[in-house]
Amino acid sequence: MINFQLFKNTKNCRNTNDFRTLAKAKLPSAIFHYIDGAADDEVTYRRNTEAYEKCDLIPNVLAGVEEIDTSVEVMGMKIDIPMFCSPTALQRLFHYDGERAVAKAAEKYGTLFGISSLGTVSLQEIGKTISTPKMFQFYCHKDKGVNDAMIEMCKQANFDAIALTVDTITGGNRERDLWTGFTTPPKLTPKSLISFVLHPNWSLNYLLREKFSLPQLEQHVNRGTNIAVSVGDYLSSMLDQSMDWKDAEEINRKWGKKFCLKGVMSVDDAKRAVDIGADAIMVSNHGGRQLDGCISPFEQLAEIVDAVGDRIDVICDGGIRRGTHVLKALSVGAKACSGGRWYLYALAAGGQLGVEKAISNMKNEIERDMKLMGVTKLSQLSRKNIKFR
Ligand SMILES: Cc1cc2nc3c(=O)[nH]c(=O)nc-3n(C[C@H](O)[C@H](O)[C@H](O)COP(=O)(O)O)c2cc1C
């Protein structure tokens, strides 16, 4: 039996799983598992994708679908495809171009680019590099000076939106990271050394190219905690566990532009997001990396859309691996979808070109699936197009 996995390169990666296979081969194992892993038994992580298999699309035919429009509007921004890049930490570890590569690929396909508070390229540089919509993911730190400085950086770099992450009040129990000893930056131990030696391309690029840094936090790290530990420790020790709705409202007020809450899962919280004047919510459980046993975003979507969908943009985040998943979420009423791993595996597999291929795969799937569904605009999708089993 021929092992087709051996012939994979980014050009012939046809889906998220192909990129995942390639990323696994290219990255030292601790880094691969940091991307791939989730909390506790990873039940929620698996359910985020499985939820899409519990319902079916109902197509219409003879609809004249030669010309179709894949764009949507979210938070007042027009994006060319309804799937965007959620903010994810530490991208320099996955490929030496890090966020630069993802930002340029997102720009090429006209979709929204999200950058994490733990981004490894500065907001200033991203602001100069791309002219398409960009969103900063905001962690509320105990040190209010850090918070104010980050809002100011977003303003200076002309960011369009801030997403305040609300599902990381403490670090999730990511056991794969505990097993592998994943730290930021990577520590040299006998175990990690073997993995670095077995991945010489990654190791040389890591050692010889631009040094790993966290420009958004650099000036504040020494005052808070030692970042060269683990992301879990960072979340638990530097972030403000007393954060509440008043703080979220205050951050929104200080920012004054488009504002989103990332990690809302309950109907009550979605209503409160409307009350504090948020423009959008990302229905998300952080890709299953925080509370294991949490319901999946797609399973919560209908109730949330019914409660607040006419007053706030509802984004479905996480578990999405196929164009049909996006069409299912939009049929239920999401304004747009987003995700992390779908482009992160591709970043690790092939830098900017890899991410471009992942986005183009997704765009092609969405185009094909729209035609097969008999819609020329995404706004034509509705609950009539979906049946839950
Ligand atoms: C490696 C990795 C790092 C992440 N870092 C952040 C982060 O810094 N801030 C944040 O709000 N979410 C972060 N997330 C969560 C993503 O923004 C997104 O919610 C999640 O990836 C969605 O699930 P999916 O990967 O199945 O698409 C991260 C996810 C991954 C996989």
Task: Output the DSSP codes for 162-183.
Answer: EEEE-S-SS----HHHHHHT--
Give ∠ CA 326-112-158 in degrees, rounded to 5: 160
Q: Does some domain include residue 307?
A: yes
Number of folded domains that form the chain = 1
Question: What contacts 246, CB < 8 A, 6 or more positions away?
Answer: none
Q: Which regions in the chain score pLDDT beneath 70?
A: 1-8, 220-230
Other residues' Cβ atoms within 10 Å of the Cβ of residue 198: 11
Residue 344 CA to ligand 1 centre (angstroms)? 9
Other residues' Cβ atoms within 10 Å of the Cβ of residue 190: 6
* Per-residue pLDDT, 6: 52
Q: Does some domain include residue 84?
A: yes
The number of the ligand 1 atom at minimal distance from the alpha carbon of 45 is 26
Q: Does some domain include residue 387?
A: no
Q: Does some domain include residue 61?
A: yes
Domain coverage including residue 8: 4-382
Which of 33, 48, 88 should be mutated for ligand 1, with most atoms under 8 A from CB?
88
* Per-residue pLDDT, 229: 58
Q: Does some domain include residue 372?
A: yes
CATH of the domain at 156: 3.20.20.70
Question: What contacts 15, CB < 8 A, 6 or more positions away?
Answer: 321, 322, 361
Q: Does some domain include residue 239?
A: yes
Give the CA dihedral 179, 88, 217, 142, nearest 10 degrees. Answer: -80
Q: Does some domain include residue 388?
A: no
Residue 284 CA to ligand 1 centre (angstroms)? 9
* Per-residue pLDDT, 10: 87
User: Which residue's alpha carbon is at the smallest distance from atom 20 of ligand 1?
Assistant: 287
Output 146-151 pairs: Cβ under 8 A, ≥24 positions apart.
Answer: 146/217, 146/220, 146/224, 147/251, 148/254, 149/219, 149/220, 150/117, 150/216, 151/251, 151/254, 151/255
| Side-chain-facing half-sphere of 303: CA atoms under 13 Å | 15
Containing 211, the helix (H) or strand (E) segment is none
Catalytic residues: 286
* Per-residue pLDDT, 226: 45
Whether residue 35 has its Cβ less than 6 Å from ligand 1: yes
Q: Does some domain include residue 291?
A: yes
Predicted confidence (pLDDT) per residue in 363-378, tens digit = 999 999 999 999 999 9
State the amino acid at position 295 in one-letter form. Answer: I
User: Which residue's alpha carbon is at the smallest distance from atom 4 of ligand 1?
Assistant: 88
Q: What is the largest CA-CA distance in the chain?
A: 64
User: Which residue's alpha carbon is at the smallest distance from atom 1 of ligand 1?
Assistant: 35
